[in-house]
């Protein structure tokens, strides 16, 4: 029936958005790990400006991790209600 198609459409859309959020979470985690590894290997020889910028970026990535995690949890709850 028409109502089932609308509900499935909403469910499919919510699942797709969840998949996109998980993709971006993986990108943020990968960037965080790569930048952290670079900082651990180069903190003695790297320019202070680069280290400062990297530290700011790591801080921003940590915030992004928490924000994405909250959005993913909300989307999972939304999918559970459909």
Counting every residue written for the chain, the total comes to 82
The predicted pLDDT at position 17 comes to: 95
Q: Cα dihedral sign for 30, 55, 62, 23?
A: negative
The predicted pLDDT at position 3 comes to: 67
Q: How many CB atoms within 10 Å of residue 37?
A: 10
Ranges under pLDDT 70 in the chain: 1-4, 6-7
The predicted pLDDT at position 10 comes to: 86
């Amino acid at each position: 029936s028409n109502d089932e198609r609308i509900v499935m459409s909403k469910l499919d859309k919510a699942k797709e958005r969840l998949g996109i959020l998980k993709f971006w979470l993986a990108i943020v985690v990968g960037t965080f790990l790569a930048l952290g590894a670079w900082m651990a290997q180069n903190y003695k020889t790297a320019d202070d400006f680069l280290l400062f910028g990297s530290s700011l970026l790591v801080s921003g990535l940590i915030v992004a991790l928490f924000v994405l995690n909250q959005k993913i949890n909300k989307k999972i709850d939304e999918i559970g209600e459909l």
